[in-house]
Chain A
């Protein structure tokens, strides 16, 4: 079982819709969770981090964490074509080591 799993997609949503990206992790001891956005040919860019169960909102982005279910998600409201990218879920397993999923490709169609 992979430590961090994401649906590879592509996930296609129309412009203005809500995009929902999901991630599950295997280590129950994980304490911190990160979402990165990566455009083709570029390096990952931090979008959000979340440490506590529940929701955390930042602009059009909402991260949701459920430690009991070992599940973290990212919602993007009012999706724009510029949101089209690969979204990487990362979990801090121990000692500040990030374990990444393979990423979900998001395509926002105008």
Chain B
């Protein structure tokens, strides 16, 4: 196990609703990245947070937003859910050491979201 935790493990929502997913990064890891993995596809980068600020964003609409807290934990919020938002949402953490990012990212167990 990587030490990255996510909650909840599973979630069912209906179209138009809002959802918040949570992630606690591994001890000593101060950057958090979020990915969406649709069935049969590789993970797609949503955004990354470092020092409580967004530090890069993938090709996702503004209804996908996030937060990082002083303890480096993070939230992913998705508004106005669509059917295509059904996916596995993965959080990954990596450390900032010696003045640079260690590029290796360690994934949590994921949250499986189903939108009906």
Contacts and interface: CB of A to CB of B under 8 A. Distances in A.
Interface of A: 4, 32, 34, 36, 42-46, 49, 88, 90, 92, 94-103
Q: Chain B, interface size: which category?
A: 20 to 34
27 contacts: A34-B105, A36-B107, A42-B109, A42-B110, A43-B88, A43-B90, A43-B108, A43-B109, A43-B110, A45-B107, A46-B104, A46-B105, A46-B106, A90-B42, A92-B103, A96-B33, A96-B48, A96-B94, A96-B105, A97-B45, A97-B56, A97-B58, A98-B45, A99-B45, A100-B35, A100-B42, A102-B42
Which of B92, B101, B105: most chain A Cβ within 10 A?
Answer: B105
Interface in B8-33: 31, 33
Interface of B: 2, 31, 33, 35, 40-45, 48, 55-56, 58, 88, 90, 92, 94, 101, 103-110
